[in-house]
């Protein structure tokens, strides 16, 4: 469920008509709903009620500071994968003890930053990282709290590019070697073992891979405790999928996900952390674009928008589907026609949909890409020197620009000419 609904034939974000925002900020733009973000966060809270838990929002899915502060005020922790994301979370008012630092390639500088400013835990992904983290922490006179990310070799049955829990993936350490690496961690002076971490992929639409992975982690937890480790925290990652179409996708509900967690792990007396991103942010955001042209081709028509693959790369990168709807609701009885929906970037890959049945649309009409909140703005670029598009946050009948569109002067002035080219 989201809060983007038609009222009197006009698509609204909560109580704000989308054409009003378009008139103010221009197109294309991203628009997010506070009510939807709040509802989705509370669904996870309800799902884990009765368990000691912390919901650490996955910052990489949508990292604007206004979004982070909205969720932090609800009680969310944060899962970050870079020093930049750590800084964003801290700038949004999230205390260090509610930030989890994940990622396979943490640098020494990032480790020092987090140890200085506060960190809940590092989710360590390799023996090399473990040793370096211990050396740094020892030199600073502290101990770094860690979980070890364990690769359970479970196929998440998701897209190849977002599967992370198979033995051929770059993430984590093999579960077969976990006991030895935990034994090594226990001997390092700068390390404090606090738990186990697992994350098998993104956009999962079946609970079975989760349950298989969590069952292996439960067995590992019992073994590690028998070895003398104080495993008091299990980080279960994220990955629960969302419906990207209104017709045929039915991912598991957070309540079902939470019930499975309690069934598999409830007897372990651990604090559970989960790291949802897509399910909180995905359906809380849309991308609004304007039609530039309707172009007649040989055997097909093209709906050319002012949004492009640099603004929303998911269709080009993953072959991802987004429902695309007109902002002005079509009159009853309209006739659909198949069109290719494309952007203006000079790449054939700049295609959002092929032969999509759409209502009649022409130049100047507005369309909205649904379920565009996660991995939309955060993956955008300035390819073709196209400015990053604005982000707008709606709260009831109010809206605010939370990232403005840069001017071309701002873009061009970031370049620097060497001395031999300045005469």
pLDDT tens-place values along the chain, 423 residues long? 689 999 999 999 999 999 999 999 999 999 999 999 999 999 999 999 999 999 999 999 999 999 999 999 999 999 999 999 999 999 999 999 999 999 999 999 999 999 999 999 999 999 999 999 999 999 999 999 999 999 987 764 544 444 444 455 567 799 999 999 999 999 999 999 999 999 988 788 889 989 999 999 999 999 999 999 999 999 999 989 888 876 566 888 999 999 999 999 999 999 999 999 999 999 999 999 999 999 998 889 999 999 999 999 999 998 999 999 999 999 888 899 999 999 999 999 999 999 999 999 999 999 999 999 999 999 999 999 999 999 999 999 999 999 999 999 999 999 999 999 997
In a domain, 127, yes or no: yes
Structural domain ending residue among the three candidates 247, 265, 280: 280
Residue 71's φ and ψ, nearest 5 degrees, are: -75, -35
Residue 162 pLDDT: 43
- Rounded Cα gap, residues 12 and 288, in angstroms: 11
Tokens of 245: 């179409």
Residue 157 pLDDT: 54
In a domain, 386, yes or no: yes
Question: Same domain, yes or no, for 238 and 287?
Answer: no
Question: Same domain, yes or no, for 287 and 243?
Answer: no
Catalytic member of 1, 128, 346, 417: 346
| CATH number, domain with residue 311 | 2.40.37.10
Question: Same domain, yes or no, for 232 and 374?
Answer: no
Question: Same domain, yes or no, for 164 and 311?
Answer: no
Which residue range forms the structural domain that includes residue 39? Answer: 34-280
In a domain, 331, yes or no: yes
In a domain, 182, yes or no: yes
Using CA of residue 379, residue 382, residue 383, residue 389, what is the dihedral sign?
positive
Residue 200 pLDDT: 86
Residue 387 pLDDT: 98
In a domain, 259, yes or no: yes
- Rounded Cα gap, residues 277 and 56, in angstroms: 9
Residue 163 pLDDT: 47
Question: Same domain, yes or no, for 227 and 376?
Answer: no
Q: Please say whether the beta carbons of 108 and 129 come within 8 A.
A: no
| CATH number, domain with residue 62 | 3.20.20.10
Tokens of 174: 């093999």
Structural domain ending residue among the three candidates 252, 280, 308: 280
Question: Same domain, yes or no, for 170 and 204?
Answer: yes
Question: Same domain, yes or no, for 363 and 349?
Answer: yes
Question: Same domain, yes or no, for 10 and 123?
Answer: no
- Rounded Cα gap, residues 271 and 363, in angstroms: 54
Q: Please say whether the beta carbons of 124 and 192 come within 8 A.
A: no
Q: Please say whether the beta carbons of 12 and 18 come within 8 A.
A: yes
Q: For residue 192, give every residue at least 6 positions away whose Cβ sits within 8 Å of its Cβ, in sequence order, or none.
A: 143, 144, 145, 146
In a domain, 423, yes or no: no
Question: Same domain, yes or no, for 209 and 328?
Answer: no
Structural domain ending residue among the three candidates 280, 315, 346: 280
Residue 247 pLDDT: 57
- pTM of this structure: 0.94
Residue 331 pLDDT: 87
Q: Please say whether the beta carbons of 327 and 368 come within 8 A.
A: yes
User: What length does the chain have?
Assistant: 423
In a domain, 246, yes or no: yes
Question: Same domain, yes or no, for 325 and 273?
Answer: no
Residue with tokens 């991802």: 320
Residue with tokens 């995905």: 282
Residue 414 CB coordination number (10 Å): 9
> Kindly report the CA angle at 171 between 166 and 172, in degrees rounded to 5?
95
Per-residue HEC secondary structure of the chain comes to CCCEEEECCEEEECCEEHHHHHHHHCCCEEEEEHHHHHHHHHHHHHHCCCCCEEEEEEHHHCCCHHHHHHHHHCCCEEEECCHHHHHHHHHCCCCHHHEEECCCCCCHHHHHHHHHHCCCEEEECCHHHHHHHHHHHHHHCCCEEEEEEEECCCCCCCCHHHECCCCCCCCCEEHHHHHHHHHHHHHCCCEEEEEEECCCECCECCHHHHHHHHHHHHHHHHHHHHCCCCCCEEECCCCECCCCCCCCCCCCCHHHHHHHHHHHHHHHCCEEEECCCHHHHHHHEEEEEEEEEEEECCCCEEEEECCCCCCCCHHHHHCCCCCEEECECCCCCCCCEEEEEECCCCCCCCEEEEEEEECCCCCCCEEEECCCCCCCHHHCCCHHHCCCCCEEEEECCEEEEEECCCCHHHHHCCCCCCHHHCC
Q: Let me know if 346 is a catalytic residue.
A: yes
Tally of domains within the chain: 2
Residue with tokens 């260090």: 96
Residue 248 pLDDT: 60
Question: Same domain, yes or no, for 12 and 67?
Answer: no
In a domain, 68, yes or no: yes
Question: Same domain, yes or no, for 244 and 296?
Answer: no
């Amino acid at each position: 469920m989201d809060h983007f609904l038609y009222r009197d034939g006009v698509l609204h974000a909560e109580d704000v008509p989308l054409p009003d925002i378009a008139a103010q900020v221009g197109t294309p733009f991203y628009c997010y709903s506070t009510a939807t973000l709040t509802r989705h966060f509370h669904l996870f809270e309800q799902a884990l009620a009765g368990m000691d838990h912390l919901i650490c929002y996955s910052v990489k899915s949508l990292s604007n500071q206004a979004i982070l502060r909205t969720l932090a005020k609800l009680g969310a922790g944060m899962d970050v994968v870079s020093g930049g994301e750590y800084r964003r979370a801290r700038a949004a008012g999230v205390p260090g003890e509610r930030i989890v630092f994940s990622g396979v390639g943490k640098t020494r500088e990032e480790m020092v930053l987090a140890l200085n400013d506060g960190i809940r835990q590092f989710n360590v992904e390799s023996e090399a990282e473990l040793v370096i983290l211990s050396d740094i922490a020892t030199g600073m006179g502290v101990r770094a709290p860690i979980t070890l990310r364990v690769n359970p070799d479970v196929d998440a049955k998701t897209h190849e590019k977002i599967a992370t829990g198979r033995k051929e993936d770059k993430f984590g350490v093999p579960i077969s070697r976990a006991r030895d690496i935990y034994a090594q961690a226990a001997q390092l002076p700068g390390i404090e073992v606090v738990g186990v971490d697992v994350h098998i992929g993104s956009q999962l639409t079946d609970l079975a891979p989760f349950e298989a992975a969590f069952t292996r982690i439960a067995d590992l937890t019992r073994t590690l405790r028998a070895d003398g480790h104080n495993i008091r925290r299990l980080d279960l990652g994220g990955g629960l999928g969302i419906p990207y179409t209104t017709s045929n996708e039915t991912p598991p509900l957070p309540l079902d996900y939470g019930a499975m967690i309690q069934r598999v792990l409830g007897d372990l007396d651990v604090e559970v952390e989960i790291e949802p991103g897509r399910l909180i942010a995905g359906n809380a955001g849309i991308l609004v674009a304007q039609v530039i042209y309707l172009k007649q081709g040989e055997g097909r028509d093209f709906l050319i928008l002012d949004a492009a693959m640099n603004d929303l790369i998911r269709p080009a990168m993953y072959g991802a589907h987004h429902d695309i709807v007109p902002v002005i609701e079509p009159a009853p009885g309209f006739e659909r026609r198949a069109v290719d929906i494309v952007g203006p970037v000079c790449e054939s890959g700049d295609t959002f949909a092929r032969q999509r049945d759409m209502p009649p649309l022409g130049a100047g009409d507005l369309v909205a890409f649904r379920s565009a909140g996660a991995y939309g703005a955060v993956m955008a670029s300035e390819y073709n020197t196209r400015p990053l598009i604005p982000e707008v946050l709606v709260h009831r009948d109010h809206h605010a620009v939370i990232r403005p569109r840069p001017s071309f002067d701002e873009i061009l002035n970031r370049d620097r000419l060497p001395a031999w080219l300045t005469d």
